[in-house]
Amino acid sequence: MKNYKLTIAYDGTNYHGWQMQANARTIQGELTRVLSVLDHRPVTLQGAGRTDAGVHAQAQVANIFLEREFAPAQLREAVNGNLDRDLRITQVELVDEAFEARFSARGKTYVYEISTAPVISPFDFRYVYHYRGTLDVEAMQDAALLLVGTHDFSAFTVASIETTDRLRTLRQLDIDARHHSIRITASAEGFLRYMVRTIAGTLIDVGRGRRTAMSVGEALASRNRQQAGPKAPAHGLTLVRVDY
Residues marked as catalytic: 52
Instruction: Give 123-176 as a DSSP string.
Output: TTTTTSEE--S---HHHHHHHHHTT-EEEE-GGGS-TT-S-S--EEEEEEEEEE
Distance of CA 30 to the CA centre of its chain: 18
What does the CA dihedral 141, 143, 146, 152 come to, rounded to 10 degrees? Answer: -120
Answer yes or no: are the C-beta atoms of 26 and 86 closer than 8 Å.
Answer: no
Q: Are strands 107-115 and 237-243 parallel, antiparallel or unpaired?
A: antiparallel
Answer yes or no: are the C-beta atoms of 108 and 188 closer than 8 Å.
Answer: yes
DSSP E strands in the chain: the ranges are 2-10, 46-47, 56-66, 87-95, 107-115, 129-130, 149-152, 167-178, 181-188, 237-243
